Amino acid sequence: MTESSSMIGALDIGTNSFHLVIARATHSGFEVITREKEMVRLGEGSGDMKLLSPEAIERGIIALRNMRRVADAHGAELRAIATSAVREATNADVFINRAHKEASIVVEVISGVEEARLIHLGVM
């Protein structure tokens, strides 16, 4: 594995904030290189989170562009996971399509069960 191909970016697209971790794969696990967090409030404005507001989508896209720049600066392959705000939004496709077109980020929306599994792994 070359050094550049061992750089991994994990992006958590949450309801309130986006978290990015860039890490280098090592023989014993991972070495965190940098972390970024942006308060986006993607779920803001809709009490039942059935609709992402245009303003929230715009904040999200701006944050994703920033996260993409950080990942690219480190030569990291980026994987982006979206949770409940995107999963529950009827207009999630607008956000997902813009993320791909404008930030070159493919957003994977995970189920609530998978989200809980990943939280459990993170805690352990």
> What is the tally of structural domains in the chain?
1
Query: pLDDT at position 2, please?
Result: 43
pLDDT in tens, the chain (124 residues): 444 458 999 999 999 999 999 999 888 888 999 999 999 999 886 555 588 999 999 999 999 999 999 999 999 999 999 988 899 999 999 999 999 999 999 999 987 777 776 665 677 6
Query: pLDDT at position 94, please?
Result: 96
Say if residue 20 is exposed, middle or buried (CB neighbours under 10 Å; 0-12, 13-18, 19+): buried
Query: pLDDT at position 123, please?
Result: 73
Query: pLDDT at position 47, please?
Result: 58
From residue 113, give the alpha-carbon distance in Å to each of 95, 118, 119: 22, 9, 10
Query: pLDDT at position 98, please?
Result: 98
CATH of the domain at 8: 3.30.420.40
Query: pLDDT at position 110, please?
Result: 81
Query: pLDDT at position 61, please?
Result: 98
Query: pLDDT at position 26, please?
Result: 87
Task: Enter the tokens of residue 38.
Answer: 């942006």
Query: pLDDT at position 5, please?
Result: 52
User: Residue 60 is part of which domain span?
Assistant: 4-123
